[in-house]
Structure 1
């Protein structure tokens, strides 16, 4: 299998997991079907195999149909009650996540495999218990379905153990530091995947050449309008590059992943103009537009999720400075990762070195603004927030690439300007000024 095919398989698998993963009904449905199949298997064993469960405690193996029915009925009621508890806990978790962390993080909780498996296990066990109870009562004179009753007991015990683990999982994942850490970890994967995908193609590093091609395409090329309204979720660079090379065209995209577009707005320019008809369909297929921003190629969205948690923590309704500081710590760590990558022109060449595709690059300055601007504005009356932003910039100074130092310096100046124009006491202003001096010294040393 070629590298290109692996990339397309990875894209296809991401599509499936992204569309299906947050659906709470898929895993419970599959496990419910599995419980029906398990019941059919257990009935076959009860009817055709002579079992001797001598190793199992006699108190848990009923000799009469009436006793077995009572036991299964009791377990059915207990598991059904626990299932209602799991559902209510899940709904409460989603409500807390939406109100305190932001509605864009609900999908993260919905796609949690522990939640889905727990719901599926309880629902499947309820179905299995109901079927076993009906089998016991439908044939009181026949052989007792010992193996089925045994499975009822085992499945019920497993469900109660899973319930304890589920409660622990919910209590852990709903905490803001854990959510922020997981979002930043996902952002790191986005960076790695983006870097890996760019290694599969030949990039154009000449910024002036790319700018000239973009200007020429916008002036004389054929604009391609978007046929859908929504966010750009995914751009298949390899397929788009192949289409441009085969058509002898240059495609200049007007949107990058995460940006919003509307029907009729220019999504791309194609030059020469007479090649537009040969690539228009491929542009529509390879530039996926949907209702949500995703983490597949949208680095800025991961940053925005952490920023949203910080903004809610700093709001007057919650007023949780420590959560805001935690978010800034993780944002600083995230920006260190981003700052180790060079600025890209967005130009992609074919195998012959001819520039064929231009995707608007996400600049470091843009990511830095996304990470700190809103928090700085929201925490403009909070000295601890301003100091922590300067601490983050101070930590970034010696490790980021030299071309990223200028925007860091600009943001440090914005922080101290905010402090000087605020209504802080002299001691707080002195602390901020001192931290600003240390930050600027670190930036000077790194330049």
Structure 2
């Protein structure tokens, strides 16, 4: 349930309707509150001199504010669509989600729509004396409407400044890199130390040698239920806590066959649940199996696109997409690509310091409950990220040197020999690609010196393997 709620909140956060809807509801409540306050002031024969106004003046003020703010909402919406179009064409349509999440357009539109709605609701209460009907002029309501109008004017200036900076490459890269850093901190929160890593290696080695997946499943029994996918799409998230709870309830083990970010086709195997049948009749067994299948399908969230909430690889690929587009012949912007490489260096440097994901998830009593057959690790993310940038940027001496500099920075944080080996393999692949594209001896000398500096960092860790 937690993963589904987080995924739902992420979709709300990157939408343009959620905040304006909330602010419109707040405007309705504010209009009702000021109307009640005005009614109390009139019945108590009290007046606030600085709020005093006439019915025609209140009607004119509220009408002007309501019309102006709803017109500004249309202007803001048009500017927002234009900025999204520019970001989509220059940086990639997949980054529109990041731009929408960091944009204040929903807040500004919500302010304008809410202010207009508030003024309309207060405006209908303005009455002049007619026959036996007494006059009613919402003094507080009109003053609040005027204040909201002034705030709206200030927010227009703020919005224009925000749009002018939001579509700049450094700003978008910063927002995307923040997604990557948050994904690393959220999915790999434990920082590795020599003691904890030694204990983890021993425990994982013992699990893999003495209690392999097959042995764990054999201890549960031969009865199992396969869980197929009901639709095509990407796995946006998996609720691990719910999987463990279900396995505890069944006194069994869930063998997970997928991970966040995988593309799943209809009827593809998602998981296999091993447990002891608690019923004797065939009908009861079929009903129990159907219940288990429905429970697993609810905790594996499948959607139309990948999200960085549980997918570190996709969060890194968002930065890679900006870099690759910048290196295309039509744009030819190596500075943006180098900025992306710097951001990858910082995030991957933190990633390599974190403990590896555990393949055997246990309950509170240390009983194996979930077996993870595949998951993101440092080697996959590094190879996929820098490999794509290398493919398009190896012909540029500046980008190639920046990649070597990034690999050197990441290597200085790495301590596991397997991670250092992956870094060296990526550096050697870059070296081969660079030599194939560059024949200038001066550039080759610069690259060779940077490559040797990287080797000086890698050698001590690789020799201790």
| Distance of 1:209 and 1:279 partners within structure 2 | 30
Alpha carbons of structure 1 residues 438 and 49: separation in structure 2 relative to 1, 3 Å: same
| Distance of 2:258 and 2:210 partners within structure 1 | 16
| Distance of 2:369 and 2:412 partners within structure 1 | 36
CA contact (8 A) 1:210 1:345 kept: no
CA contact (8 A) 2:190 2:355 kept: no
**Aligned residue in 2 for 1:163:** 156
Q: Secondary structure at the match of 2:356?
A: coil
CA contact (8 A) 2:77 2:105 kept: no
**Aligned residue in 2 for 1:311:** 324
Q: Secondary structure at the match of 1:205?
A: helix
**Aligned residue in 2 for 1:174:** 167
**Aligned residue in 2 for 1:75:** 65
For residue 6 of structure 2, the aligned residue among 2, 10, 14 is 14
Residues 116-170 of structure 1 show CA distances to partners (whole Å, capped at 9, x for unaligned) of 2211110111122333444447768724332222122111001111222222233
Alpha carbons of structure 1 residues 40 and 247: separation in structure 2 relative to 1, 3 Å: closer
Q: Secondary structure at the match of 2:104?
A: helix
| Distance of 2:273 and 2:409 partners within structure 1 | 43
Scaled by the length of structure 1, the TM-score of the pair is 0.86
**Aligned residue in 2 for 1:368:** 382
Aligned residue-pair number: 431
**Aligned residue in 1 for 2:213:** 213
| Distance of 2:360 and 2:41 partners within structure 1 | 68
Equivalent residue runs for 1:15-34 within 5 Å: 15-34=7-26
Scaled by the length of structure 2, the TM-score of the pair is 0.83
1:231 aligns with 2:231: no
CA contact (8 A) 1:24 1:116 kept: yes
| Distance of 2:240 and 2:86 partners within structure 1 | 38
Alpha carbons of structure 1 residues 33 and 241: separation in structure 2 relative to 1, 3 Å: closer
Unaligned runs of 5+ in 2: 193-198, 279-287
Alpha carbons of structure 1 residues 381 and 243: separation in structure 2 relative to 1, 3 Å: same
**Aligned residue in 2 for 1:441:** 456
Equivalent residue runs for 1:338-357 within 5 Å: 338-357=351-370
**By how many angstroms is 1:332 displaced?**
0.7
| Distance of 1:29 and 1:356 partners within structure 2 | 42
Equivalent residue runs for 1:290-439 within 5 Å: 290-359=303-372, 360-403=374-417, 404-439=419-454
| Distance of 1:210 and 1:269 partners within structure 2 | 22
**By how many angstroms is 1:107 displaced?**
2.0
CA contact (8 A) 1:217 1:269 kept: no
| Distance of 2:123 and 2:440 partners within structure 1 | 73
**By how many angstroms is 1:401 displaced?**
2.3
Alpha carbons of structure 1 residues 307 and 47: separation in structure 2 relative to 1, 3 Å: same
Q: Secondary structure at the match of 1:111?
A: helix
Alpha carbons of structure 1 residues 52 and 372: separation in structure 2 relative to 1, 3 Å: same
| Distance of 1:210 and 1:81 partners within structure 2 | 70
Equivalent residue runs for 1:114-263 within 5 Å: 114-136=104-126, 142-195=135-188, 205-206=204-205, 208-209=208-209, 212-213=212-213, 223-263=226-266
| Distance of 1:210 and 1:327 partners within structure 2 | 44
Structure 1 window deviating more from structure 2 (28-37 vs 106-115): it is: 106-115
| Distance of 1:431 and 1:210 partners within structure 2 | 50
| Distance of 1:214 and 1:171 partners within structure 2 | 58
CA contact (8 A) 2:407 2:423 kept: yes
Structure 1 window deviating more from structure 2 (349-358 vs 149-158): it is: 349-358
CA contact (8 A) 1:250 1:270 kept: yes
Alpha carbons of structure 1 residues 134 and 435: separation in structure 2 relative to 1, 3 Å: same
| Distance of 1:345 and 1:35 partners within structure 2 | 49
Alpha carbons of structure 1 residues 196 and 53: separation in structure 2 relative to 1, 3 Å: same
| Distance of 1:89 and 1:282 partners within structure 2 | 44
Residues 378-433 of structure 1 show CA distances to partners (whole Å, capped at 9, x for unaligned) of 11321111111100011112211223100000000011101111144222222111
| Distance of 1:350 and 1:68 partners within structure 2 | 65
| Distance of 1:181 and 1:114 partners within structure 2 | 16
Alpha carbons of structure 1 residues 256 and 137: separation in structure 2 relative to 1, 3 Å: same
